[in-house]
């Protein structure tokens, strides 16, 4: 069992991609061709983004289990992760390309993403590093479900809390859900997992995990811990690119909880980090530093505006 007094150390097991990003006036409809603008490449992948957020925005020691191809796409990903101070546990399957993602960002900073998993699909149960000494295991669903389930069960057996960002949305086996301590979802993913079309509060109450957090974009987030509910309104920023904002939230939240930050404050820190991530282009390049998050929060009004809190509570079905 991890000693809560130890220096926190988070293990992220997940995807790493090279993102190909193009700006366009709007996201193309099926069959439509849109003349785009600026084109850039960035290191990405939900797992890698969340690992960078854990280390940079959350300020905790972070390791990552990932798979990369033996190709030119791997180099910028490794450089980004190492630049964030991560300790890497890299699997290199032969004859497989590094994962990639094709992203269109429109003038409203919204995005549409298509992912080619590549080497990410090669992670297996045998690749998990020893778990003693880690305070949390954080995962997503851009690697094989068999690996995610095996890692979660291994962490449960080792007494390491499991955080799962259930994205992309898909049904989860009961044995996996039973091993998850913290479930992180957006509103669509929440309804997919709950199998309900009721209120957010109803869906949260329907899931068996001890702690469930649902992100609601600019509105903020809502969490259920046991029978207690928390709401955190969003921070107003000038959004440039929302790519990676949800990943930043996940990594920053797990880092805060690994440091035993009280839930309300952890949600506030993660929401601030996610808001700041929207103010810059790219996924990992937009992740703010721990210092930047603290400075942003110091300048933000305290406490939250009561009318905004009540509006969010009503939206979630808590009032």
Give me the active site residues, please: 247
In sequence order, what DSSP letters do the residues of 262-292 get, joined into one string?
-HHHHHHHHHHHHHHHTTSSSSSTTPPPHHH
CA pair distance 203, 109, nearest whole angstrom? 28
Q: Which residues pair with 205 in a beta bridge?
A: none
CA pair distance 143, 162, nearest whole angstrom? 16
In sequence order, what DSSP letters do the residues of 221-247 get, joined into one string?
EEEEETTEEEEEEPPP---S--TTHHH
CA pair distance 250, 111, nearest whole angstrom? 18
């Amino acid at each position: 069992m991890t000693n809560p007094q130890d220096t926190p150390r988070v293990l992220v097991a997940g995807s790493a991609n090279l993102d190909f990003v193009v700006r366009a006036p709007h996201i193309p409809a099926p069959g439509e061709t849109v003349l785009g603008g600026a084109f850039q490449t960035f290191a990405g992948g939900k797992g890698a983004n969340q690992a960078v957020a854990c280390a940079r925005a959350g300020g905790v020691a972070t390791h990552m289990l990932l798979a990369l191809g033996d190709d030119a796409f791997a180099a910028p990903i490794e450089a980004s992760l190492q630049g964030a101070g991560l300790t890497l546990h890299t699997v290199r399957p032969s004859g497989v390309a590094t994962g990639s993602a094709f992203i269109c960002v429109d003038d409203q900073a919204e995005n549409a993403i298509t992912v080619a998993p590549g080497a990410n699909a090669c992670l297996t149960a045998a690749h998990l590093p020893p778990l003693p000494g880690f305070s949390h295991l954080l995962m997503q669903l851009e690697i094989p479900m068999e690996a995610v389930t095996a890692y979660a069960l291994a962490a449960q057996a080792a007494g390491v809390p499991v955080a799962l960002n259930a994205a992309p949305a898909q049904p989860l086996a009961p044995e996996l859900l039973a091993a998850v301590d913290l479930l992180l979802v957006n509103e669509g993913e929440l309804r997919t997992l709950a199998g309900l079309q009721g209120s957010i509060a109803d869906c949260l109450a329907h899931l068996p995990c001890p702690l469930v957090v649902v992100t609601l974009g600019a509105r903020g987030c809502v969490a259920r811990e046991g029978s207690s509910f928390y709401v955190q309104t969003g921070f107003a920023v000038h959004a440039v690119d929302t790519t990676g904002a949800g990943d930043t939230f996940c990594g920053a939240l797990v880092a805060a909880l690994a440091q035993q930050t009280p839930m309300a404050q952890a949600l506030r820190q993660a929401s601030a980090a996610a808001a700041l991530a929207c103010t810059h282009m790219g996924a990992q390049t937009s992740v703010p530093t721990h210092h930047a998050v603290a400075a942003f929060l110091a300048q933000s009004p305290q406490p939250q505006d009561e009318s905004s809190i009540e509006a969010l509570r009503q939206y979630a079905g808590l009032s």
